[in-house]
Amino acid sequence: MLTAPKKIINAWAMYDWANSSYSLIITSAIFPAYYTAIAPPQVEFIGRSYDRSALASYAISFSFLIIAFLSPILSSIADYKGNKKSFMKFFCYLGSAACCSMIFLTKEHIGLGIVASIIASIGYCGSIVFYNAYLPEIAAEEDQDDVSAKGFALGYIGSVILMIVCLAFIMSNDKMNLGWGAWPVRLSFLSVGIWWAGFAQITFKWMPPSKPSEQNLEHSILTNGFHELKKYGTNCNIIRVYQSFCAVFSFTTWVCKR
């Protein structure tokens, strides 16, 4: 196949610009620091008491588990129905809305932050599944590395720009004693959601609809993805090594937190 026109390549790469602010601000920088600052050492959640750090880890792990289960099903449906963009939009708006809801996160509503972080993670990971699945449809195999690198570069630049703006807002409140309390931090979460959904419109406007698969399904559309994973997992010894590493890492992490 031929690589798509530059306009489509740029539109695809812009989704990295849109969503990478989630990775930097929510996953790595501002949200974890704010959560640690306002959450008590023991957090009550769904009727049980958890260490605040452990609860945050459990929340992210749970979101990954949900995506690991849903991705093969949704990918199979999207491949054979040709509606990758629809699924991508759904997960994008889901994650964006969850980030926006974090504006209500206070020490009295820690549970809201945990639920929002789970939903935001599901939205981010889910949209990335279909975002990456678009790459073979718009770029020839020999161009895919360059196109992917362009997306990564735009994502880095976009996330850093929003991060600088958010930090400047937060630091000005502290240094100038504006008396806004935690509002600058919480507004940064809102800005991530708006940034994510807003710039994603460029992607959604210019990206062409995905093409339905011409291959015949060997299994049910709901289970075909799992069968494909099983087939490739059987042929790739690296999968077994990765599984062993994950098991050892998870066990070690659990022991260290005891």
What pTM was estimated for this model as a whole?
Answer: 0.82
Which CA distances in Å does 127 have to 63, 75, 92, 132?
Answer: 13, 11, 6, 9
pLDDT at 10: 94
Query: Is there a contact between 138 and 82 (Cβ–Cβ < 8 Å)?
Result: no
Phi, psi angle pair for 62, to nearest 5°: -65, -40
pLDDT at 210: 74
pLDDT at 235: 43
Q: Which residues pair with 20 in a beta bridge?
A: none
Other C-beta atoms closer than 10 Å to the C-beta of 228 total 16
Q: Which domains does the chain have, with CATH numbers?
A: 6-211 (1.20.1250.20), 216-258 (no CATH)
Burial of 144 (0-12, 13-18, 19+ CB in 10 A): middle
Per-residue b/e over 50-80, b at no fewer than 16 CB within 10 Å?
Answer: bebeebbeebbeebeebbeebbbbbbbbbbb
Positions in the chain short of pLDDT 70: 1-2, 176-180, 212-258
